[in-house]
Amino acid sequence: MQDSTQNPRTDSTGQLIGRMWRDWMSAYKARVAMAVALMIVVAAASAAYPKLIETSVDMLEAQNANVVWLMPLAIIFVTFIKGLASYGQSVLSQSVALRVINAIQKAMFSHLMEADLQAHHETSTGKLISRFTNDVNVMRDALSRTLTAMARDFVTAAALIGMMFYLDWLLAIIVIVTFPLAGRPIIRIGRRLRRASSNAQTGMGDLTSNLEQAFSGIRLIKSYRMENYERARANELFDLIYHLVMKTVKGRARTYPILETIGGSSVAAVLAYGGWRILSGTGTLGEFVGFLAAVILAYQPIRSLGNLNAALQEGLAAVQRSFDLLDTPAKIFDAPDARALSLSGGNVTFDKVVFAYTPDKPALNEVDFSIPAGQTVALVGPSGAGKSTVMNLLLRFHDVDAGTVAIDGQDVRTVTMASLRDAVALVSQDITLFNDTVAANIRFGRPDATDEEVIAAARDAAAHEFVSALPEGYDTMVGDRGSSLSGGERQRVAIARAMLKNAPILLLDEATSALDAESEQQVQIALDRLTANRTTLVIAHRLATVMNADQILVMDDGRVVETGTHAELQAHDGLYARLSRLQFREPDPSGSAPDVERAHG
């Protein structure tokens, strides 16, 4: 999922509006039809004003006494009907607009939940959040104003122009010929405005990303006294947003002098020609006043149409960005004939697997190994050797470029992702807890689990004691990212989550590396329970945690370079032995100093 600024696409106004109607608004055809009917009532009531004025002037000229009660009653009736119809039309139109925006937000979030992991890495979290806040606010404003005001103003202007032709077709032609003069520059301004608005929305995404990083990293910023640096970065983005938004403001404002000039020219032409007709005796005062009222009344919705076009173009820029996100295809998906994974133990096999994140540097190169069902295999080696990539391929966060990853003899690409991921539980060093209760975070492993099952999982994970001591026990909120819990407590909640899932295959990614000795001991006891009778793949830099593994695979530069138990690898005196001597401070038999840099990658 690339950011739309990296791969820009510009659809026409007609294409975007057509797709909005086809994909999102057509579901509300009945509401839209009712809103249009009410718009017609509003327009008809507006168009009745000039006729009422003409009739009133004619009655005054004829000294008709009924003018003092009949015409006021008629005007009150028309205004009441117009107000009632305006209310109904506004509520219906806004409800459709908000329903459509609601549906688009849900679709974008659903798309992101189904998107590949790589897609999330390509676009920052702040930019994604901006799609749901800044872009959606612009869309909501544009869609609401378009449905509520733009359509109503268009219908009203059309009704008033029709009334002009009814009152005096010649004067109507004089007025109408001036309107197209404003069309071309307003359309051109609209195109520029959409580009400027798109740039502003992209800038808001960058700003949101910067703010998200600054607030989440506030401890680091303060500890390194980088407040001024971050302030300068943010101020630069604030200034950029100001200049980008000012471009949209100036573009929107350019429509005002054009519309004012055209409107003034129309009124001037009517006064000149209509006044001449009255003075020459070829026209009546009532006709002239009624027509002039129609022109003045039509000027407001026509002027609003020009201004609303600017808002529409800003909204379409946000719509374009949303469609770009929704149109980004997933690279990892179920095959058409995918079937559920059939488990018969949980044997994991990598057969000549090749994979590269970028074409010029393979992350894995001809990797071969097998994990018998129920055994624990450890992956060790320098940073960047490809250990995490092995786990990513097993979970099918990526697909292999060559070779096969299989579980119980079934290629993971041929089974459904749902059944594959149901069969695997992951516990990593980077624990993700949500700002919810302890119970909800444990239940993330199995949402339908009972309270008793949650507590049993917590007991197995050595978490029940500390959870029970919390202010509200299992109903205690853990805070953003589990901030109210210690590192060891967060880790045990994550293990309880994996316990509750009870998957036959377990992945442990540096599950104890960030813990103190006491917490590590508690977590290790919980992990021993968790790995029992499960096929387990462990990534560890701390070799003391994997010495008892059934098999240890030593990886280097994307390959498995050594295989064996701890004792066998020590005896082999290869990379594993060098890593072991470095960590356990053992002397090198050759007498040379350990290669510290190589050992840590």
In contact, 521 and 462? CB cutoff 8 Å: no
CATH of the domain at 222: 1.20.1560.10
pTM over 0.75: no
Whole-angstrom distance, CA of residue 573 vs CA of residue 554: 12
Nearest one of 169, 476, 108, 547 to 328, comparing CA atoms = 108
Whole-angstrom distance, CA of residue 166 vs CA of residue 160: 10
pLDDT for res 341: 87
Q: What percentage of the chain reaches a pLDDT higher than 70?
A: 78
Which of 309, 327, 345 lies at the terminal end of a domain, its last residue?
Answer: 327
Residue 504, pLDDT above cutoff 60: yes
237 plus 367 within the same structural domain? no
The predicted-structure confidence for 376-427, as pLDDT tens digits, reads as follows 888 888 888 888 889 889 988 888 889 999 998 899 899 998 888 888 888 8
132 plus 200 within the same structural domain? yes
Whole-angstrom distance, CA of residue 399 vs CA of residue 101: 34
Supply the range of the domain harboring residue 18: 13-327
Whole-angstrom distance, CA of residue 429 vs CA of residue 512: 7
The predicted-structure confidence for 68-98, as pLDDT tens digits, reads as follows 778 788 888 888 888 888 888 888 888 888 8
Structural domain count of the chain: 2
pLDDT for res 188: 67
Supply 251's token pair. 């573009």
Whole-angstrom distance, CA of residue 332 vs CA of residue 309: 40
394 plus 260 within the same structural domain? no
pLDDT for res 601: 37
213 plus 186 within the same structural domain? yes
Q: Is 106 exposed, middle or buried (0-12, 13-18, 19+ CB in 10 A)?
A: exposed
Whole-angstrom distance, CA of residue 450 vs CA of residue 315: 46
262 plus 395 within the same structural domain? no
Whole-angstrom distance, CA of residue 403 vs CA of residue 513: 32
pLDDT for res 354: 92
Supply 46's token pair. 């507006």
Whole-angstrom distance, CA of residue 141 vs CA of residue 146: 8
DSSP string, 174-217: HHHTTTHHHHHHHHHHHHHHHHHHHHHHHHHHHHHHHHHHHHHT
344 plus 317 within the same structural domain? no
235 plus 360 within the same structural domain? no
Q: Evaluate whether residue 375 is within a structural domain.
A: yes
351 plus 230 within the same structural domain? no
Alpha carbon 154 to its chain centroid, in Å, reads 33
Q: Evaluate whether residue 478 is within a structural domain.
A: no
pLDDT for res 350: 92
230 plus 347 within the same structural domain? no
pLDDT for res 169: 74
Q: Count CB-CB contacts under 10 A for residue 322.
A: 22
Phi, psi angles (nearest 5°) of residue 380:
-130, 165
Mean pLDDT of the chain: 77
Q: Evaluate whether residue 71 is within a structural domain.
A: yes
Give the mean model confidence (pLDDT) for residues 461-484.
Answer: 82
169 plus 279 within the same structural domain? yes
Q: Evaluate whether residue 489 is within a structural domain.
A: no
Q: Evaluate whether residue 511 is within a structural domain.
A: no
Residue 452, pLDDT above cutoff 80: yes
Write the single-letter amino acid at 63: Q
pLDDT for res 2: 47
Q: How confident is the model at residue 599 (pLDDT cuts 50, 70, 90)?
A: very low
Q: Evaluate whether residue 268 is within a structural domain.
A: yes
320 plus 351 within the same structural domain? no
Q: Evaluate whether residue 2 is within a structural domain.
A: no
Supply 53's token pair. 């004025």
314 plus 355 within the same structural domain? no
Residue 512, pLDDT above cutoff 70: no
Q: Evaluate whether residue 264 is within a structural domain.
A: yes
Which of 284, 299, 327 lies at the terminal end of a domain, its last residue?
Answer: 327
Supply 103's token pair. 């549906």
CATH of the domain at 598: 3.40.50.300
Which of 327, 359, 389 lies at the terminal end of a domain, its last residue?
Answer: 327
Q: Of the given ranges (143-147, 323-327, 456-460), which has the lowest mean pLDDT?
A: 143-147
